[in-house]
Amino acid sequence: MVLTWLTAALASTALGQMEVETDGVRLRVEVLASVYTYQITNLATGNITHLEIPYHHSYYFQVPDGWESNTEGGIFRAWTKDPRQGIKPDQTAKFSLRVSSAGAVLGLTSATVGFDSGAKVTLTDVWTPVPEPRWTILLVVLGIVAIVLVHTVLLSRRDRRRSAAGANDA
C-alpha cells in the first residue's frame, strides 16, 4: 500500500495524471494545481449514468450538462435521470473538483460507476484528495520539538563555555 501510494505521488509530480481501466470503463485522472479532473470513457455497451468518488476538503464540483450532483458525506455523486444524457459507448465525459488547502493530499481510493442497466463497476487505486495522515502532522510537531531541544542544548553549552572562560579570566 505504501509503495503504491509512493508510486502515485512520484508519478503525479512527473506526469500529473493516471489511468485505470476495469470492466468496460476507463477513468483518467488529471491533477493540475488544485483541480482534479476525472475523464470517464465508456468502453461497454450500456450508458453510464452514475459516478461516485470520495473526496476531502473540496469544492466547485463540475458535471456534464444534463447531470446532477451531490457532495454529502464526503462522496462526490453525479448522476443523470435520463439515460440519453448518460455517457454512451465509446464516448467520454469530464467531471472535476477543486481542492482547498486545508489538509487534503493526493491519495488512492475507489470510484464507482453505474450503468443504466443497474450494473456497477468499481475502479480501484483512483487518485483523489484524501485527509492528510495524522502521522505527518505528528512528524512536524516532533520536528519542531527536536529543533527547540537542540537549540536549548547548544545555547546552554555556549553559556557554560562563557561562564568557564569568565571564571578563568578572574
Report the distance separating Cα 78 and Cα 62, nearest Å: 9
The mean per-residue pLDDT over the stretch 72-86 comes to 94
Which pLDDT tens digit goes with each residue over 8-67? 555 545 568 999 999 999 999 999 988 999 999 999 999 999 999 999 989 999 999 999
Q: 2-6, 143-147, 152-156 — which is least confidently predicted? A: 2-6
Cell of 53: 468518488
CB contact set of 75 (below 8 Å; sequence gap of 6+): 52, 53, 54, 55
CATH number of 2-132: 2.60.40.290
What pTM value is reported for the model?
Answer: 0.71
Query: How many CA atoms lie less than 13 Å away from 77 in the CB half-sphere?
Result: 10
Looking at residue 117, its pLDDT comes to: 94
Is the pLDDT assigned to residue 89 strictly greater than 90?
Answer: yes
Q: Over the chain, what is the mean pLDDT? A: 86
Please list, residue by residue across 52-87, b when 16 or more beta carbons sit within 10 angstroms of its beta carbon and e when fewer do: bbbbbbbeebebeeebeeeeeeeebbbbbeeeebbb
The mean per-residue pLDDT over the stretch 91-98 comes to 96
Q: What are phi and psi of 13, to 5 degrees?
A: -75, -30
Which pLDDT tens digit goes with each residue over 96-117? 999 987 777 888 999 999 999 9
